[in-house]
Amino acid sequence: MKKIVMGGAALCMALLLMSAGGKDTSGGASAETGPVKIGISKIMAHPALDACEQGIQDQLKARGINAVFDLQSANGDMSTAAQIANKFKNDRVAVAVGIATPTAQALTNAIKDVPVVFSAVTDPVDAGLVSTIDRGEGNVTGMSDAIPTEDHIAMFKEIAGIKTLGYIYTGSEANSLAALSLVEAACKANGIALVSQAINTSADIRQAAQAIVGRVDGIYMTTDNTVFSAVAAIIQVFGDAKKAIFAGDVTGVKDGGCLIASGFNYYKAGIATGNIVADILEGKKPVDIPVKFLTEPSESDLMFDLDVAKNLGISIPQKYLSQANLIFENGKLTER
């Protein structure tokens, strides 16, 4: 568990309260003044989730909310995620935010009387956080980072000629299992064979990559937090074998090594999550807030590594290059 960080502007916000005869703490505010305490729990530290966490803090400040932040990381451990959830419950945070599926589930299971906002959850319905994406569930709502998997795999096939695709996933995480189903469907739709490999922890990544690299034409990585926490191992194994990589998250691979990276800008995902938290603090009830999806092109990134493309003998079609806002070439990343 980490630290408490001050943030926000000078505006006084009302604390959310609940008592037997008091206000409904699934939304709204009291007349008390002072900084509100926001608990943010992420499953682990890595660039995408860190960017999301920062976006939440920055947006609350931009919305003029005076807040203190209790920032926690479960370090990939489910029991720690549960301990953090109980800490937030006992500390009576005004809003509890869970970044990634396991931490969001832990918060939802533990906290029933103050708002819980999930962020960067691929399938919140399958994860049991809400029963529909059209509205929140009791004291719970949030935003999804579901990516266009079928479009990604179709692009990968077109650019790299993939016929057999590798995929590594965390077998114990609902978010990862939901993503696996999407990858399976996308491969079927695109006429691609799939070779998948389950892992338990980030320590399994290198061995999993080595187990499948000789059986596939390339590998696709979705927004699996455990996989991305050891993404360097995948880049090394597949790079040495001269096999292409498509990453469904750009934030974690900006140092190069992936032929293609496309996905949501996680800082902007944090901005979107921060807006949900601010709306709740200003009186909206979570149940009345639909699940947020990032659908605007400006909320996503597309990156090509031209050094990798050259090494693999692949030419990126101009129609895709013109859409890219990030190009990695000659060992350097350029933003457009």
Class of domain 149-264+297-335: alpha beta
Taking 50 as the pLDDT cut, the residues of the chain under it are 1-31
So what's the architecture of 3-145+265-293 in CATH?
Answer: 3-Layer(aba) Sandwich (3.40)
The reported pLDDT for the residue numbered 130 is 97
Q: Give the type of residue at 257.
A: G
Strands (E), the chain: 3-7, 36-42, 67-73, 95-99, 116-121, 140-144, 164-170, 193-199, 218-221, 244-247, 260-264, 292-293, 300-305, 326-329, 332-335
Digit-coded pLDDT (tens) for 92-120? 999 999 999 999 999 999 999 999 999 99
Give ranges for CATH 3.40.50.2300 in the chain: 3-145+265-293, 149-264+297-335
The reported pLDDT for the residue numbered 33 is 63
Sign of CA dihedral 269, 273, 276, 282: negative
Candidates 258, 262, 254; CA nearest to 238 is 258
The reported pLDDT for the residue numbered 74 is 97
